[in-house]
A and B are shown apart, each in its own frame.
Chain A
Amino acid sequence: MNQTTRQQIVIAGVGGQGVLFVTRLLAEAAIRRGLPVLTSETHGMAQRGGSVVSHLKIGGFASPLIRTGAADGLLGLKAESLDHFGRFLKPGAWVRLNGPAIGIESPRSRRVDAETLAAGLGNPRAVNLILLGFSLGVAEGDPEPGLFCTEKEIQEALTDSLGRAPDLLEASRAALEAGLSAGRRGGKTRTV
């Protein structure tokens, strides 16, 4: 990918899941690539357990919001995220969703049971980073472009962000790794 990269991603979940944290890591990764970036976030009352959505726009945009039918991809931290925010996706967009695996719905849609993986790590609130890792892992095995950035760039952004909290950084890395390996496995089983 180069300077002409343009990508619009919707990141959705529920207040408290860490939607903003994932959005920020991805935005930092874009800056590492020298790409212009704009995000739009949910703050305030809606953050109290309500539906939360971030818009992430990489490349030369002026507006921070993604229009209906314009997003290249969606990271859904809850299975319901697709129902709530699927209207933003353009035809053929990719979807990475946290939810029990119920088979592959479309060639560009993948699910991971991030809650079970998180429980396995003894860190039930790591769903956000597991799903991010999963999306990066899937992208590696997918011939069509998925997330604009690489695992390495996310790792660097994570270290920058949590470098002063070694315990948190270690737990976060473990979550990202768990997602990555699930993604690499899931990324190879392309059907349809």
Chain B
Amino acid sequence: MGGIKLMLGNEAIARGVVESGCSVATSYPGTPASEILGSVASQGRGEGLAMHAQWAVNEKVAFEIAYAAAMSGLRAMVSMKQVGLNVASDPLMSAAYMGTRGGFVVISADDPGPHSSQTEQDSRMMAMMAKIPVLDPDTPRQARELVKTAFALSERFEIPVMLRPTTRVCHARQDVPLGPVDRELRRPAFEKDPTRWAATPKFRLRLHQELEGKLARLAEAPETFPKLQNGAAGKRAVAASGVAAAHAQDILKDLGLWDELPFYQIFQPFPLHTRFIGEVLSRHESVLVLEETLGVIEMQLADRSRVRGKMDGTVSRVGELDPERIEDLIARFAERSRTSVPVATPPGRRPTLCAGCPHRATFFAIKKAAPRAIYTSDIGCYTLGLNLGAVDTVLCMGAAVSQAAGFYHAYKGEARPPDIIATIGDSTFFHAGIPALVDAVTQRVRFVLVVLDNRTTAMTGNQPTPASGVDVAGEPLHAVELESIIRGCGIGFVREGDPYRLKDMTRLIRDAVRYSREKGPAVVISRHPCLLDKRSRERARVALPPRVTEKCDGCRYCVDHFECPALVPDPAGTRVDIDPALCSGCGVCIDVCPRNAIVSGAGSTKTGNPGPEQEAP
């Protein structure tokens, strides 16, 4: 198959996976990596490949499924966001020692900025810690190429290989040439070798020794050797990887430096090629290194006095290396004046839960039921509950439950300990909430867990959860039942409600709080489908927006405490109106208004919209 296609970076990565003849692909969704797996599945189907592609319950499980397939000689990949790699770091560290038979590619997408993450951590550092090679693409086109290189290196050296794209690669779109698909028939052939696959510490030492040998040979691999992109020569040189290399290339041209300032692009930041390290330091008096977000290349260029980068403070250690920063760095380094003037970025609009989002109703009910509680929360759309003052903590996946326990233990000796209400999404609960809940049951932690069950992984583009009963392609799977798991953990109080029925939900949470004060953990499942979920029938159910009557005196209670984007105060501050373009017709605000000034509309007239339906966050 030939031709050129407009592809999102993540689709181009998926193309590389499919062209490599990958047999098993797994993932857990997370921005900016979310679109990779769905695209692997659909392109694999389109090419008629026999492939297993699946969303796993979390990144660790995803990693282990794909890794075992690679142990048996098949090509396999696992994709995740950078904080997902933290969850999968346990198998990663060990898999590096044991190595692989079939090509095994670990895709960990970083988010310098950060745009949609808790941290700016650098997955390349995780590769370095695990002692596996990592490739760092600059564009969607190069990402597709490097996936194929990664599979080839992985098989040649029997080692897992990481591809580390960043947000600006994952969420760039580019015209990408399509290559042929590897259709070599690979059959699973797991060869038992307990000294490798079940190695005891004695054998691990030997594996570690072998791993060092592999890395030394990888530091000589010709296909990933750094490239002098402009053929220039001079005392000073720039070395860059990832999207920083793409920015640098355009900027060197704009500043008229392309023919005079040598520019090296590095494809494999770790292990950095031994010969390159020698050459670059002997040819040039000083080297400016541009990379995100840690100085991984820089720390391997050992001469501190001649290398400019993050370690000597030339390049910021924090934040995205955007083109404005890179222009400034290159201009200073080459002693040129820059062309563009830096301008402060004005604050944009803050993100908010969608109009009609069931989470907003749940948070409102929580605030009503227990206004002085400590609210622990978790990772997902519902993190935005902080706009409503109903989210006090967000640490990492599953921590809402364990942090609730921690606050309970911290306060239990006090005369009047606070109520504690944890909120967690359904997908996050499956991912990492269950072990923490088991612990809370054991310790009789007095708190209320509200599971925000919208039947989907909403923030990342509505991927299914274990309770959805469908796979990545929409085919039926076995569905796991939330209530059974919660009861199975030993929770005595498990009740379900619909947050759109605001008064009932408030009462239900009040009951749960009362129970928790006396007896221990209580769980409320607040169940209503996400309005953005295409699989849900909720989309089809449209109602007219409610009406605001003349009783409205512009008190702003609904705007300040319910924070629905469809509620718009008029500039004079005399009343609030409903924006019909945004309103979903959920009608929850009718129960929010303290003046009873909002009444229901009736009938149904809405039409479809070609815009957001096409988009996945």
Contact = CB atoms under 8 A, between A and B. Distances in A.
A41 B34 CA distance: 14
A61 B250 contact: yes
Nearest to B32: A43
B172 A39 contact: yes
Given A47-B615, A128-B611, A37 B250 contact: no
Name the residue among B340, B342, B349, B610 with the largest chain A CB count within 10 angstroms: B610
A67 B243 contact: no
A49 B565 contact: yes
B536 interface: no
Contacts of B172: 38-41, 64
B15 interface: no
Interface string A157-177: 000011000011101100100
A70 interface: yes
A175 B617 CA distance: 24
Interface stretch (B298-306, B350-358, B414-422, B549-557): B350-358
Contact of B609 (A38, A44, A125, A161): A125
Contacts of A38: 139, 172-174
Contacts of A70: 340
A62 B613 CA distance: 30
B323 A65 contact: yes
A151 interface: no
Interface string B136-164: 00110000000000000000000000000
Contacts of A41: 8, 171-173
Nearest to A50: B351
B581 A48 contact: no
Nearest to A40: B172
Contacts of A16: 354, 611-612
A128 B614 CA distance: 12
Contacts of A127: 581
A92 interface: no
Nearest to A124: B581
A46 B116 contact: yes
A23 B174 CA distance: 12
Interface residues of A, number: 63
Given A16-B354, A37-B6, A38-B172, A45 B116 contact: yes
Contacts of A172: 610
B608 A171 contact: yes
Interface in A64-95: 64-70, 80, 83-84, 87
Contacts of B115: 42-46
B489 interface: no
A38 to B, nearest CB: 5
Contacts of A36: 174-175
Contact of B32 (A21, A44, A175): A44
Given A24-B6, A124-B580, A63 B171 contact: no
Contact of A62 (B31, B250, B607): B250
A40 B171 contact: yes
Contacts of B2: none
B413 interface: no
A128 B247 CA distance: 29
Given A17-B612, A46-B351, A62-B139, A83 B581 contact: no
Interface string B102-133: 00000000000001100000000000000000
A10 interface: no
A90 to B, nearest CB: 9
Contacts of B352: 48-50
Nearest to A121: B607
Nearest to B532: A16
A70 B339 CA distance: 10
Contacts of A139: none
A37 B610 contact: no
Interface string B246-262: 11011100000000000
B50 to A, nearest CB: 26
Contacts of B342: 68
Nearest to A44: B116
Contact of A162 (B174, B354, B605, B610): B610
Contacts of A129: 610-611
Contacts of A115: 581
Interface string A108-135: 0000000100110011111111000000
Contacts of A67: 323-324, 327, 340
A186 to B, nearest CB: 22
B174 A20 contact: no
Contacts of A46: 115-116, 351
A83 B605 CA distance: 34
Given A30-B175, A38-B174, A124-B581, 9 more contacts: A18-B615, A21-B612, A24-B614, A37-B173, A48-B617, A69-B340, A161-B614, A167-B608, A171-B607
